[in-house]
Chain A
Amino acid sequence: DAKTTQPNSMESNEEEPVHLPCNHSTISGTDYIHWYRQLPSQGPEYVIHGLTSNVNNRMASLAIAEDRKSSTLILHRATLRDAAVYYCILRGIQGAQKLVFGQGTRLTINP
């Protein structure tokens, strides 16, 4: 599984946008970019995923670089409930379906 690199931690203020970066320079053509988050004392939670085009859902937006070597998870208006560890994960369509978690980015939201 290709590796991803994320900052260990980020901090933002409530009601401001947050941009969480992820580098994945060894991504293959069939790898999907998935984002999960883990709130304190809870299981991981799916956020969004994409392949080549930018994606939007009710939780967030995913901006994917043209060369696909990096992506950015965008929380448009952060709330205190968005404080969590955010994981950027690559998943291919072949082989096993496991998720390979890195250390993720711990996001702190200031009131």
Chain B
Amino acid sequence: DTAVSQTPKYLVTQMGNDKSIKCEQNLGHDTMYWYKQDSKKFLKIMFSYNNKELIINETVPNRFSPKSPDKAHLNLHINSLELGDSAVYFCASSQARPNRGGDGTQYFGPGTRLLVL
């Protein structure tokens, strides 16, 4: 009964390849996020979707494309992988703010460790 799950847990691939990471939440939340944690351990927001609509798009290369087929899923596709993409990618979900019935607390998945060789 995992709340936020990600697949795969580990991903090792060659430079130039295209790969996808999947995220699913069973909390009934309406907002999902992708964060990136680099080798220096800094966590940064990449994208956020609310009810399948993109609401946050930080300065992220066009090679990264999120897709939300429904409220419970948010996938991240990465084209032409580069060495600098090696990081841990965390998915999170939340219910929207107090004026929409939620308190905004974010629940994180276990992370996908991506290594680009």
Chain A: residues with CB nearer than 8 A to chain B?
Answer: 32, 34, 36, 38, 41-46, 49, 85, 91, 93, 96-101, 103
14 residue pairs of the A-B complex, CB under 8 angstroms, read A32-B104, A38-B43, A43-B109, A44-B106, A46-B107, A49-B105, A93-B99, A96-B48, A97-B48, A98-B33, A98-B48, A99-B35, A99-B106, A101-B44
Residues of A within 8 A of B33 (CB): 97-98
Q: CA A85 – CA B45 in complex, angstroms?
A: 18
In angstroms, Cα B96 to Cα A100, docked, is: 17
Cα-based distance from A91 to B48 in the complex (angstroms) = 15
Residue count of chain B within 8 Å CB distance of chain A: 30
A93 CA to B104 CA in the complex, in Å? 9
Instruction: Find out whether the CB atom of B104 lies under 8 angstroms from the CB atom of A97.
Output: yes
- Please name the residue on chain A nearest to B107 by beta carbon: A46
Establish whether residues B41 and A93, one from each chain, have CB atoms under 8 Å apart when the complex forms.
no
Query: When A43-B111, A98-B48 are in contact, do A93 and B43 touch as well, CB less than 8 Å?
Result: no
A93 to B97 Cα, complex, angstroms = 7
Residues of B within 8 A of A38 (CB): 43
